[in-house]
Structure 1
Amino acid sequence: MATPRTTCALYTWGANSFGQLGQGHAEDQAEPQCVDDGQERQRLRAITGGGGHSALITETGELLVCGQNHKGQLGLGHISDVTNFQHCPLPGNQTVQQVSCGWDFTILLTDNGHVLACGSNAFGQLGVSAEIKHTAEPLLIKSLSEPVISVATGLRHALAVTGSGGVHQWGTGLSAQAKRALNPQPVPVHLACKEPHLVPGLDQVTCQKVVAGSAHSACLTVAGDIFLWGSNKYGQLCNKESFLPLPTALDGSLLKGERVCAIHSGWTHLIAQTETGRVFTWGRASYGQLGRRGQTNDVTSPESDASLADSSSEISLPSEVKTLNGATQIACGSEHNLAVVGNQVFSWGWNEHGMCGHGSFCDITQPQPIPALKDVRTLLIGCGAGHSMALCCLKSGGESGS
């Protein structure tokens, strides 16, 4: 008897105003829909998204992109939105190791350790000359002379870890909040620099990964420790200060003494996975993004640009989400999340555009399996700010979940 042929399909859902779902149209989808563009999907290395765009990396290091492109963030050489995934050729035929999508810009880490950037540079988030306001061609960040091993993008800033374990930051997205919080003290240069600048205070540790929120940054060391800096508006830094200009170690006791093996960040919340498979969440909880029923800790409207509130009374300390124990993958959008636990994809958090994939538009306060993906095996998950993606294996004889 012949073995059933296994094929892979990419499913996307959620916000789609700019075609970021890659489905050839611009209508939101509240349930996973198969991206049927005739391309083989068995060999993807990573999937992720930004404010209104998406990016896929193939196992051979090719980059596929779609979605919003008004600042050239797709790197295609033009500024027209794209509703189907298109191949993005890189200078010198370089291949991609990692891609991180910010609000309206994209940072690319190549397999040879170089960092390229495209999109808006209004806040210096591309790490190139400030004279360049935006670019539709991926540009090399020349000041990162040492090979890079990890990159991350926030709303208006970016980070990179070099092979020696140092962390560089660029973009001025954190400087306005720093000025308010630190006045009349001068703002540290790494918070207001438009080209990569070494982040001080990490000399005694070796970093291996960085993540970023809308106005905060975090790094994970090889020893399994987490360092946090930037805005603490929603308690995401687990500190009584409203703003931390320098990296501050997260008290290990808050994670029950567990060694951290992975860290993820939304705009205002963080998720840590430990070596024993436990998952802890903390930060803003207003949309259920922490996966804890009934918890909320808003201090201001997310749209407000008022001065930072003192979040000392609103600190959301790390708490374990036992439903996610043993998760093999986790991905964060701006205020929603995906996780692979066992053979199921779970989602929770902000759901205004249906990005949790349950067919409704109501926020989900605890991780719930996505019904449409219950009969497939998920290989990869990824999130944009308000959309979701999953690469799934399915057997011939009918596609589940579309």
Structure 2
Amino acid sequence: MSKLLEKWANFGYQKSEIRTAIVFGKNGENVIIVLANDEVFAFGKNKRGCLGVGNLDEVDELKRIENLCGQGIEGLECGIFDRDKFHMLAISGSGSVFSWGNNGSGQLGLGTKECTEVPTKISGCLEHKKVVQVACGGYHTLTLTSEGEVYAFGCNAYGQLGLGSKDNQLLPQRVGGLLDGIIVASVACQKYSSFALLQSGKICAWGYNRDCFLGSSSTSEHECSPCKVIGLEGVVISQIVCADFFILALSDDGKIYSWGVIYNSHSEKRIWLNRPTIITTEMGRVKDIAATHYGSHPSAAITEDDKVYIWGNCNGQLVLKPIVTSFSSFDEVFATASPSVTYQRFPMKITEDESKRKCPISKRFPEVFDNPETADFAFIVEGKKIHVHKIILILVSDVFKNLFLGDWKDSCQKELIVEDHSYDAFYAFLKYFYTGKVNFTAELALDVYTVARFYLVTDLMEVCKKILKSGLTLQNASFLYEKATLLGAKDLCEVCVKFCEKRWVDVMDNFESDDRKREVVMEVFRWFAAGKKN
């Protein structure tokens, strides 16, 4: 959790006790915190009941939000209009969504237009859905379910709900059209427009489209249904974020694309981009991007070497080119902006061990592996077919993503012959994607490692290394070393050399080649010398 919470208030709690928090408001004066024990508190100005404490009174000290306590809240979002009108949403760990605050257009999804002073669970179409993300525009809201479906509600004057009309919706409605049957990975909102990042890495957009700044092929000022963003052909987008009237998109190769209108609220300067345009490549590879709906805030990016860049509206100045800062996180960027707010909602920490165990696919799809009735693709290995699902392979391997979504001329085909790997190894390799588990022997582990290395599946490579290491003997160490050398697999060579370090005299008898013996002896001495130095 960010140290910057201390800059806003002394809550009287240890950092480890706070699960998530949000600071928002015209001057950053409103705070909601969720404790690890499921208690939820707020204080601040409370305009239109945005604090959820059951009245409109200003709250001078932490007060419980009764309706959220005990609900397992893990995420908080804020919709902003004119800097003092806020509609609030909270997501629980079970996927329920609660809303409260400003509701003039039904953006709370509760079936009314009345402001709501207490968090209320959204039902209707979302009653039996698990919501994994929400995004807020000025007066509208998008929700994304675990099934990759998008539901929208609220103001629809510009078609920003994507429902094919301009009718406001007081209850959640599923967005169809181009999104029918498509898995959506994330959603984002401008003030009057909406965007969906598809699992394929493509983007759909709808809503306010003056001067075509949705980036789509549509020339209508108001696009009421999802349409594809063009100009990103051959590019796989991994992240999208929105400000009021522009969007940033991060590609999987670390480039930032932007389009829309960027303006300085303190002057008449405006920059219009009606097609996705690379901001710059001078920052190097970017791994994260950020923007907010506060017009006085900059945009920001963090590069692979952890440098933080900002551009846009920076303290009243329009900065056209990203500049490096002394900040170390987005939290610092927006804590020192005006108003001071939180950017990330301080999500509950996941330990390293838990993150390694986390494998949604392995929990959902083991039973459909190699099932010809549901599969949409097959590998033919040694004359036998292994039936798979493209989307699952795309999710877990960039090599398969590029194969199925890139410029591969045969990407529309239903089968592919594999000639360089054995059936058993390739079967075990593919099955791992569906189960997250291994059940092959040490004898097969080297062949599976070879397949995993070719397809850059690093977690499976590590599993194979452990199996190989545990199965090393005086008889097979020499064989494994020679195979690892031929593969150019330095990590496997290292495993063998460390094993040989204590047993190298006996292992030497198993090498047929004198050259190999000399090579291993030299490697052992190098490792021994390096160990002495350390």
Q: What is the TM-score of this pair, normalised by structure 2?
A: 0.53
Q: Could you say which residue in structure 1 is the equivalent of 2:228?
A: 249
Alignment partner of 1:72 is 2:49: yes
Q: State the distance in 1 between where 2:176 and 2:138 align.
A: 21
1:318 to 256, 277, 288: 277
1:136 to 85, 100, 117: 117
Asked which structure has the greater CA Rg, the reply is 2
Q: How does 1:15-34 map to 2 (within 5 A)?
A: none
Task: Give the number of aligned pairs.
Answer: 323
Matching residue's letter, 2:94: N
Matched position secondary structure for 1:112: coil
Q: State the distance in 1 between where 2:41 and 2:247 align.
A: 27
Matching residue's letter, 1:125: Q
Q: State the distance in 1 between where 2:201 and 2:17 align.
A: 30
Compare the two structures and name the one with the higher strand fraction.
1
Matched position secondary structure for 1:78: coil
Change (3 A) 1:91 1:39: closer
Deviations 1:37-93 (A, max 9, x none): 454335766665655355566677765655442111122223234577766454461
Matching residue's letter, 1:344: K
Change (3 A) 1:37 1:57: closer
2:322 to 363, 367, 370: 367
Q: Could you say which residue in structure 2 is the equivalent of 1:284?
A: 261
Q: Could you say which residue in structure 1 is the equivalent of 2:77?
A: 100
Q: How does 1:2-401 map to 2 (within 5 A)?
A: 9-11=2-4, 35-41=9-15, 52=26, 53=30, 65-82=42-59, 88-91=65-68, 93-103=70-80, 104-130=86-112, 133-143=114-124, 144-145=126-127, 146-172=129-155, 174-175=156-157, 177-178=158-159, 188-189=164-165, 191-201=167-177, 202-233=179-210, 235-239=212-216, 240-251=219-230, 254-255=231-232, 257-287=234-264, 296-297=270-271, 315-334=274-293, 335=295, 336-341=298-303, 342-351=305-314, 354=315, 361-371=316-326, 373=327, 386-389=339-342
Compare the two structures and name the one with the higher helix fraction.
2
Change (3 A) 1:44 1:362: farther
Change (3 A) 1:234 1:112: farther
Q: State the distance in 1 between where 2:111 and 2:278 align.
A: 42
Deviations 1:223-269 (A, max 9, x none): 11111000012643113321211001112xx2352211111011101
Matching residue's letter, 1:170: F
Change (3 A) 1:380 1:210: farther
C-alpha deviation, 1:170, in angstroms = 0.3
The answer on whether the counterparts of 1:285 and 1:297 sit within 8 Å (CA) in structure 2 is yes
Q: CA RMSD in A?
A: 3.6
Q: State the distance in 2 between where 1:256 and 1:57 align.
A: 42
Between 52-61 and 187-196, report the one with greater CA deviation: 52-61
Matched position secondary structure for 2:321: strand
Q: What is the TM-score of this pair, normalised by structure 1?
A: 0.69
Q: State the distance in 1 between where 2:167 and 2:284 align.
A: 35
Q: State the distance in 1 between where 2:321 and 2:77 align.
A: 26
C-alpha deviation, 1:157, in angstroms = 0.4
Between 155-164 and 79-88, report the one with greater CA deviation: 79-88
C-alpha deviation, 1:295, in angstroms = 8.2
C-alpha deviation, 1:287, in angstroms = 2.8
Between 199-208 and 61-70, report the one with greater CA deviation: 61-70
* Identical-pair percentage: 20
Which ranges in structure 2 are unaligned for 5 or more consecutive residues? 81-85, 347-534
Q: State the distance in 2 between where 1:346 and 1:320 align.
A: 12
Deviations 1:348-400 (A, max 9, x none): 2224xx4xxxxxx32333322344x36xx6778768995444789xxxxxxxx
Which ranges in structure 1 are unaligned for 5 or more consecutive residues? 1-7, 13-22, 24-32, 180-186, 289-293, 299-313, 355-360, 393-402
Matched position secondary structure for 2:187: strand
